[in-house]
Structure 1
């Protein structure tokens, strides 16, 4: 994955591969952003809560696709989860990610 893919989101093929392997989409935006719209069946865990909820993510026992509004917060989430031994990628902005599904 190149630098820009890491920061702004995975490519369609990588997203497809993760979805096929049963990945869970985690939306790390704020509650207000989530309430304004989100990907159906995604899980809402705001970035500022992720550290305290990492065990909840691990219990999913699935690969993770993190998303946010633009890809910056989801890049941070994916990196954090990877450091916690969770298979995670940055899906980028949720609208863009939704178009890849």
Structure 2
């Protein structure tokens, strides 16, 4: 899944302000990042597993937000997923922006801490 950096600027984008607190988003971070804190209804599919787990993407008529820690990895994932025909958007600022906006977080070990 290699996308040239000049193509990454063309990917669809959304902001955490445009997502409901209970939005279903796809979190592509690594397992340790996920465990530190994630959106309550997020689906965890690490970036490296994304090509083999496409069937786990939400089946919805709405655009699906794709999130990582700060937006870089998710931008590459969105570029690739868009090429595969999926209606997805990069969550600008990633989970850092989610946390900064005061959106709810869940953690695997009690308190959630993303930053």
Report the TM-score, using the length of structure 1 for normalisation. 0.72
Give the Å deviation of 1:100.
Answer: 8.0
Three-state SS of the structure 1 residue aligned to 2:86 is coil
Gaps of 5+ in 1: none
Match of 2:76 in 1: 76
**In 2, Cα distance between equivalents of 1:50 and 1:88:** 13
Larger Rg: 2
Match of 1:60 in 2: 59
**In 2, Cα distance between equivalents of 1:49 and 1:39:** 19
CA RMSD of aligned residues (A): 2.8
Report the TM-score, using the length of structure 2 for normalisation. 0.64
Gaps of 5+ in 2: 1-8, 104-115
Q: How many residues are paired up?
A: 91
Match of 2:14 in 1: 10
